[in-house]
A and B are shown apart, each in its own frame.
Chain A
């Protein structure tokens, strides 16, 4: 084998080995790499109990309740399978609205998620307002359908 081919083999093997090592490491730490857990996971009890964590989902249509004269807000988040209540006091991002993705940071207390931070998550779709109007029904229908179907996940 020529010296050049040896170097090629060495570089090739080293890069492949590193890729496999990185892949295995990331797999092992998969749960720690998650920025937020889903609503279903929280309902199933698969969340860190002893520390604060983040939960992500869509704000359920028609679920936002604001207390008069304060910044208190209560809403339901869903992952289109399960839903759970979130309570938060503070300023919400502009994008926060029904049917919109949110990521809340906080802790669980008696089946209610007490958030100290609520962030809005937007999706990868970009379109003009006129186009969006005709499609907006879609998300509404999805969260509404969930409410009506009353899946086994629903908790108060």
Chain B
């Protein structure tokens, strides 16, 4: 068990394992997305009150879910990096941020597009769900800015890990914002007492989109970590050997 973790923490080993892992995530991920998009747009019935406009849920919910998931990965990896001084963990955190900020922007943008016809507004200042998700966007931007502002990688790792951990408190706030306070945003449809409040014909495509985009997210994250590991280890022998080996740059 522990030897497995120690091996995974070794950059050259992780670099190789990640490469074989990527297609195992990406292929089923894109397949699920293909099914989800088709079923969500054509097979699922229109909603009784939102009609066809509800279908943006198939992008909005996975994006919002991954915006929080990526942040938790970033914060936990940062914490592991701080406590165990594991360089690979910091590489994971650094790689998760740009993907996370993209999903956060996507969640805010699709939410805004959805809000205009349904609620009657693009954006409402002061709504707890909208505000906490916006703060998440700013946390990501601050995290990326902080990293790029510090030249020394070890120092950047430490400082940004602290920021990620401090900001992690926002993630449960986002999730529970619609339960703790009054909000224009609806309550949770999927994670609620009594099971999902959704027609199964609408639910399965949504689950496919959530799992599919999570797998694709995983494959993107691994790709980024591989690049990040190479950059960080550029002066080590194994990277030099890798580059110089026949059929190199693998």
Using CB atoms and an 8 Å cutoff, list the residues of chain A in contact with chain B.
Answer: 4, 7-8, 11, 14-15, 18-19, 22, 26, 30, 33-38, 56, 92-96, 100, 103, 117-129, 131-133
Contact = CB atoms under 8 A, between A and B. Distances in A.
B189 interface: yes
Contacts, number: 115
What are the 7 A-B residue pairs with the smallest beta carbon separation, nearest first?
A132-B48, A93-B120, A128-B45, A124-B189, A126-B198, A124-B187, A129-B48
A125 B197 contact: yes
A132 B165 CA distance: 44
Interface residues of B, number: 42
B168 interface: yes
Q: Helix, strand, loop or mixed for chain A's interface?
A: mixed
10 contacts: A4-B84, A11-B83, A15-B168, A35-B126, A35-B181, A96-B120, A100-B49, A125-B198, A126-B189, A129-B45
Contact of A118 (B83, B120, B181): B120
A124 B181 contact: no
B199 A121 contact: no
Contacts of B47: 126-128
B119 A120 contact: yes
B241 interface: no
Interface in B58-78: none
Contacts of B198: 125-127
Nearest to B120: A93
Nearest to A7: B83
B186 A95 contact: no
Q: Which of B84, B120, B121 has the most CB of A within 10 A?
A: B120
Contacts of A15: 79, 165, 168
B192 to A, nearest CB: 7
A147 B214 CA distance: 48
Interface string B153-167: 000000000000110
A56 B168 contact: no
Contacts of A120: 118-120
A34 B178 CA distance: 10
Given A34-B181, A127-B198, 16 more contacts: A4-B83, A22-B173, A26-B180, A33-B181, A35-B127, A94-B117, A95-B50, A117-B120, A122-B118, A125-B198, A126-B57, A126-B198, A127-B47, A127-B199, A128-B47, A128-B201
